[in-house]
Every structure is written in structure tokens, then in C-alpha cells.
């Protein structure tokens, strides 16, 4: 098989291309990376020198693609399917890319900051940074709430790359900074994402690993 995705089933950024693959039934070989295992880590660093996942290897076209967004862009360009994750309309595509950046930078990033803090040694935590991250998440929630009052998916009526980005971002953000009752439109959107077969499959496949996530017990 030409396409190989190097990823971990629990890693939020890896969920973005997984959803893209499943949306279009694009065949690929999954390779699970274990950064705690010396051999797996060394092999992965040859593919992704920054050590960040996901990474896509395409043997047919002899290229390696890094960064979750770029992997989705690559699939949309070279292995398109019926679900147009990057719209053909240029202006709509720009909006989709902007929403993808929003979910990565202003939802995933603060969420990861909060999670990472819990994994730090007790004397190396950053309570101020975590409070800032929580404030940023709440600000993002208010923006999403406003947008989702009039939309089915992140950019309107069609499922796009923006929804691939929103799925892991909102799923994990809700675990570290629960939505509560203040964002009903965002919660309904999150429920729609959870019911989407591509995302439901990703979550199902992550089940055996969820015990490793440090926010399971609040």
C-alpha cells in the first residue's frame, strides 16, 4: 500500500488525518509510534525529525508529509474522495484553513498546555500558564458558540478539514475545561461530531489507550 500513517491512537493531532482517511475510505497502512520505546522512537525520528506526529509516508510519490493540516491538504490534493475536505471554492477554502488554524492554535494548544502540566514533576508545574490556557479555552468556546448557532459543521453545511480539526480539539478540551451549560450550540456541534462515523471510529480505536490520558478522573 502506498500510504503509511505514523501516529498514536491517543494523540489529538493524529486524529485529524485519521478522520480524513475514514471520511473518504482512503486505504492506508497504520503504524503506531511508541515514543517511549527506543526502537520505535528512533525509526520515527528518521521520518519526522522534529519528533512530532502524525507523519505520512507516500511511497508511490516518494515523499513524506509532516503536520496534521498538511497531511489533510496532501490527501485532498493527491487522493481526493467524495468528501471534499478542502473546498474547491477558493474563498471557502481560505475560511476552512482559517478555522483549522483556530482549532489548532486556540483550542488544541491551550488544551495540550493543561494536559502537559499534569504530567510535569510536582515542583515544575506552571499554575499561571494553566490559568491563562483555561481563559483562552473559555474565550474560544464563546467564539465557537456564536458561530455554531447558525451552522451544522464548522464552516457551514459541508463537513471539511475544519471539522477534522475541531473533533479532537473539542473532545479533549471538554475533558480538561468542561463545557458546562453555557455553550449549548457548541455542545450540540460536539455531539454531531461524536456521532459522525469517521470520528466515532477514531474514538473507538483509542479506547484501549484512554487509561493513559491524565484527565480521566477529573
Ligand X SMILES: N[C@@H](CCC(=O)N[C@@H](CS)C(=O)NCC(=O)O)C(=O)O
Alpha-carbon span 188 to 55, nearest angstrom:
31
**Options 46-54, 148-156, 183-191, 198-206: segment touching ligand X (CB under 6 A):** 46-54
In sequence order, the 6+-apart residues with CB closer than 8 A to the CB of 142 are 183
Find out whether 164 and 72 touch, Cβ atoms under 8 Å.
yes
* Strand-pair category, 3-7 with 63-66: unpaired
For residue 20, the minimal CB distance to ligand X (Å) is 12
Interaction between residue 175 and ligand X (CB under 6 A):
no
Interaction between residue 52 and ligand X (CB under 6 A):
yes
In sequence order, the 6+-apart residues with CB closer than 8 A to the CB of 87 are 93, 96, 155, 158, 160
**Options 7-15, 38-46, 95-103, 142-150: segment touching ligand X (CB under 6 A):** 7-15
For residue 213, the minimal CB distance to ligand X (Å) is 12
Interaction between residue 53 and ligand X (CB under 6 A):
yes
**Closest to ligand X by CB, 6 or 187:** 6
Alpha-carbon span 146 to 158, nearest angstrom:
18
Find out whether 156 and 137 touch, Cβ atoms under 8 Å.
no
Interaction between residue 103 and ligand X (CB under 6 A):
no
Q: Which of 68, 140, 160, 198 is the binder for ligand X (CB under 6 A)?
A: 68
Kindly list the residues in this chain that would bind ligand X in the complex (CB under 6 A): 11-14, 35, 51-54, 67-69
Amino acid at each position: 500500500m502506498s500510504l503509511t500513517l505514523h501516529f498514536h491512537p491517543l494523540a489529538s493531532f493524529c486524529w485529524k488525518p485519521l478522520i480524513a482517511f475514514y471520511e473518504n475510505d482512503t486505504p492506508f497502512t497504520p503504524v503506531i509510534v511508541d515514543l517511549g520505546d527506543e526502537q520505535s522512537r528512533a525509526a520515527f525520528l528518521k521520518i519526522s525529525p522534529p519528533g512530532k506526529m502524525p507523519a505520512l509516508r507516500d511511497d508511490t510519490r516518494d515523499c513524506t508529509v509532516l503536520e496534521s493540516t498538511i497531511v489533510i491538504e496532501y490527501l485532498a490534493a493527491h487522493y481526493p474522495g467524495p468528501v471534499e475536505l478542502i473546498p474547491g471554492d477558493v474563498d471557502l477554502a481560505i475560511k476552512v484553513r482559517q478555522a483549522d488554524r483556530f482549532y489548532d492554535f486556540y483550542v488544541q494548544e491551550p488544551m495540550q498546555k493543561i494536559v502537559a502540566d499534569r504530567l510535569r514533576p510536582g515542583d515544575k508545574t506552571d499554575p499561571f500558564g494553566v490559568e491563562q490556557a483555561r481563559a483562552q479555552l473559555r474565550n474560544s468556546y464563546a467564539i465557537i458558540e456564536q458561530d455554531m448557532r447558525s451552522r451544522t459543521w464548522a464552516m457551514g453545511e459541508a463537513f471539511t478539514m475544519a471539522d477534522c480539526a475541531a473533533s479532537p480539539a473539542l473532545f479533549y478540551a471538554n475533558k480538561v475545561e468542561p463545557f458546562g451549560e453555557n455553550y449549548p450550540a457548541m455542545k450540540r456541534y460536539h455531539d454531531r461530531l461524536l456521532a459522525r462515523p469517521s470520528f466515532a471510529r477514531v474514538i473507538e480505536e483509542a479506547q484501549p489507550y484512554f487509561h493513559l490520558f491524565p484527565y480521566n478522573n477529573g
